[in-house]
Structure 1
Amino acid sequence: MNDNEEKLIERLRSIERLFDGATTPGERTAAASAMERVRQRLAEMKDTDPATEYKFTLGDGWSRRLFVALLRRYGLKPYRYSGQRRTTVMARVPRRFVDETLWPEFEKLSATLRAFLDDITERVIRESVFADDSEPEEVAAGSRALPP
């Protein structure tokens, strides 16, 4: 594992610690029990806020994988119906849990992962394909003259 991957993993873990309530090294021990508390809270929510079937449409494979992993981490079972696209994830989840925990955590983790993947992609293209990775030149609409 290279330094960039280790940094990404640490950033993702720090985001998880924020959601689990652990922001210092001393609180990391408590973070393990925090996950259990989240699961217990989810179970309690199921009593007062019954699980609703949600359809999540995720734009790319990376987001889908991350979201499925989060669902499984919380003991939820992701699925999709026959004929649904691979970017669709179904889950039965209490609305409050989606609004307060699952979706906000997914958005932060996804933004971190996306930034990391964008950086790697730009670097690989710049170093192995062509150094100029600037945007294409813009020409006037309807112009038949091609740029030189």
Structure 2
Amino acid sequence: MERQEDIRVKLEKLEALFARGATEGERAAAGAALDRLNTRLHEASQEAEVELKYSLPDAWAVRIFVALCRKHDVKPYRYPRQRRTTVTVRVQPIEFEQTVLAEFHTLHSELVAYFRDTVDHLIADAMKSDGDDKDLERPQIGR
């Protein structure tokens, strides 16, 4: 199956050929080819929906993910007895990855950076420490 971008490029070329077609036969052939490509493009965009399960690291990530799903008209759900950090969606995978997941990864990395900076600031100001754990030693058991 051809990629949608390739089909779109062919459609543009055929539309240009159809518009400047010198004879009725050329225009008819270009029109028929346009119809076939439009059908293929429509079929390619109607990829089968599958159920995808996402296990997210924390409640904040879940909230962002659910909000983005709803923003893009995707209905997230959870089966009984699933963890609170598990979210399931029924979507077309390629389209979902290009829209919702791309936006989620960007927003989640921003959230993690914000939390890291906030915690570092609180440790430095309130506790007068850097919180560095590199110099921690293992306890000596039995000595």
Please give the TM-score of this superposition, normalised by the length of structure 2.
Answer: 0.61
Deviation string, structure 1 residues 98-137 (Cα, Å, up to 9, x no partner): 2222212211111011101111111122222342322241
The residue number in structure 2 matching 1:135 is: 133
**CA 1:125 to 1:57, structure 2 compared with 1: closer, same or farther past 3 Å?**
same
Aligned residue identity for 1:55: K
**CA 1:130 to 1:45, structure 2 compared with 1: closer, same or farther past 3 Å?**
farther
Matches within 5 A, 1:42-121: 48-121=46-119
CA distance in 2, matches of 1:93, 1:46: 14
Aligned residue identity for 2:48: P
**CA 1:63 to 1:48, structure 2 compared with 1: closer, same or farther past 3 Å?**
same
* 4+ long deviations beyond 2 Å: 44-47, 129-132, 138-145
**CA 1:130 to 1:136, structure 2 compared with 1: closer, same or farther past 3 Å?**
farther
Query: Aligned with 2:51: secondary structure?
Result: strand
Task: Give the unaligned 5+ runs of structure 1.
Answer: 1-43
Task: Give the unaligned 5+ runs of structure 2.
Answer: 1-41
- How far off is 1:76 after superposition? 1.1
CA distance in 2, matches of 1:60, 1:140: 29
Q: Indicate the percent of aligned positions where both proteins have the same amino acid.
A: 32
Aligned length: 102
- How far off is 1:75 after superposition? 1.1
Deviation string, structure 1 residues 67-124 (Cα, Å, up to 9, x no partner): 0110010011111011000000011111111222221221111101110111111112
CA distance in 2, matches of 1:129, 1:45: 60
CA distance in 2, matches of 1:46, 1:130: 59
Query: Rg: which structure is higher?
Result: 2
CA RMSD across the alignment: 2.6
CA distance in 2, matches of 1:117, 1:55: 26
Please give the TM-score of this superposition, normalised by the length of structure 1.
Answer: 0.59
